[in-house]
Amino acid sequence: MTHALYSRLLDIHTGSHETVVDLTRDLETFLASAADDRDGLLNVFVPHATAGIAILETGAGSDEDLLAALHDLLPADDRWRHRHGAPGHGRDHVLPALVPPHATLPVVGGTLELGTWQSVCLVDTNRDNPNRQVRASFLG
């Protein structure tokens, strides 16, 4: 069996507010052309020091709950030593320790294997950077 690596960079506009962006459809579109009905692994990586990738339910309030929990854990105030950017921006640099900048997911028959309510999401609390890139890589 021949294995191949396919990779694509996704440009995501996150705006100037803390946000959770559902990437699932973009990743399914990528897999439709890259996986060709094969089994393999999808790696999702955000090459930014202030964003992460999370697997969670969206649309039922969990995305807002995640942002609220992160705000409680990482308040946007002046306690942070990392002080450039908007007030409290230092906390954005701590985010990837809690919400990692990557996820690796199974692909079966060219389809992303997620649970019924799971979505792959970009988590961005950095209000100073409205544009992000996400690298999707399929190995199969």
> What gap in Å lies between CA 54 and CA 118, rounded to an integer?
10
Q: Tell me, what's the pLDDT at 7?
A: 97
> What gap in Å lies between CA 11 and CA 47, rounded to an integer?
12
Concatenated DSSP letters of 104-126: EEEEETTEE---TT-EEEEEE--
- Side chain identity at 105, as an amino acid letter? L
For 124, list phi and psi in degrees, rounded to 5: -135, 110
Whole-prediction pTM: 0.93
| Structure tokens given for 129 | 């950077």
pLDDT in tens, the chain (140 residues): 567 899 999 999 999 999 999 999 999 999 999 999 999 999 999 999 999 999 999 989 999 999 999 999 999 898 988 878 787 889 999 999 999 999 999 999 999 999 999 999 999 999 888 999 999 999 99
Number of domains making up the chain: 1
Three-state SS for 70? helix
Q: Where residue 119 sits, what CATH number does that domain have?
A: 2.60.120.460
- Side chain identity at 130, as an amino acid letter? P
Q: Are 53 and 121 in contact (CB under 8 A)?
A: yes
Q: Give residue 53's domain range.
A: 5-139
